[in-house]
Amino acid sequence: MTTTPASPAASQQAAVDAALLILERMGLSPDDLTAAPRQRPAVPTFADYVPVVSAAVTGGTRRAYGSSWHRVTGQWGARRLDEPTPSEIRQLVAYVKAHVVHRRNARGGRGAAENLIAALRCLYRHAEDDGLIDERDNPARKVGKPRRLPSTRRAVADTRLAEINQVAATTGDDPELDTLILRLHTETACRRGGALALRPQDLDTEQCLVLLREKGETVRWQPVSPTLMAGLVRHAGERHAPPDGRLLRYADGRPITSRRYDHLWTRIGRHLPWVRTQQISTHWIRHIVFACVRVAIAAVGGQAELRPALFDSLSSLPLVAEPREMGQPPAAAGQLRHGYH
């Protein structure tokens, strides 16, 4: 008796049926096989990987998350990235909140907690991109940030701003520099980083425009008054600022840093106790300018209820001050008006 050999298709189907039967007895499905993790590189420790990410991000990101990454390496330096659980991250957040340095403007460590979670998310996002972990295995994605409280910053009255300007112009070792700094922030509503990054080559003297490079790598041309432009040009020339170097400088030619701002507001606080009590800083000047813009828009029948963030790139409504000598205190908020002078 002879048998007919099975066709190749029948044999293949029989093999598939046998494989499916084995998978069923093992409690698995074909989907489980496709979802099985592929061969991945060895997962590094935090101490090894944090420097890699730190070198890959921008300078602003590095400054923002550097302290939190330092805390993480201090606590988990020898651990692999795939070891901490969401619960352990929450425990680390609680530890950071409990041991945060208490300052006069502290808000219970909420800022430090938010920064830590954001820093870990950034770290693990790079680990995902590098194929070190799966998105579903990212523990930082499963930990929510604390709700951000409303800012305590607000616009101060014109008379208060005039007091600040008066103290800056009549005290300290370099009133010319301090009044120029306040004038620049009052006219442009720029952040501190934007002023520190300003270069002589960023000045368009013909059209009275300054190029500001600020947070989030944003770039904007901002109109200023001829008075401020003349003061910036004179300052750069007298203090020998190179075209591609920082414009704002000390009398000896050294470029200023954020420490100049710290010393400025500390000195103003000694003369004006309310500045020290409310922790007034340069960023408050932005809110003063925003308030002026709201008033100006409302005066022409526009929408006055605009959020401050909408004015970050505002160049169509230039805010400039009344002309005056740069050695005198800058104009108060109420003296700001639109147009070129």
- What residue spans define the domains of the chain? 46-142, 158-338
Which pLDDT belongs to residue 334?
39
- Options 3.40.50.880, 3.30.540.10, 1.10.443.10, 3.40.50.1110; CATH of 158-338: 1.10.443.10
Query: What pTM, to 2 d.p., does this model score?
Result: 0.62
Quick: pLDDT tens for 145-166. Answer: 877 666 666 667 678 888 999 9
Neighbours of 338 (CB within 10 A): 15
- The encoded tokens of residue 314 equal 């505002």
Quick: pLDDT tens for 47-70. Answer: 999 999 999 998 888 988 999 999
Q: Degrees (nearest 5) of the Cα angle 60, 65, 69?
A: 140
Give 219 or 331, the one with higher predicted confidence: 219
The predicted model gives 320-339 an average pLDDT of 41
The predicted model gives 198-220 an average pLDDT of 92
Which pLDDT belongs to residue 73?
93
Tell me the C-alpha distance between 262 and 202, whole Å. 25
252 class by beta-carbon count within 10 Å (0-12 exposed, 13-18 middle, 19+ buried):
exposed
Least confident interval from 149-158, 206-215, 313-322: 313-322
Asked whether the beta carbons of 45 and 77 are under 8 A apart, the reply is: yes
Beta strands 209-213 and 319-320, pairing class:
unpaired
Tokens 């014109």 label which residue? Answer: 158
- The encoded tokens of residue 87 equal 């619960």
Residue 338 has pLDDT above 50, yes or no: no
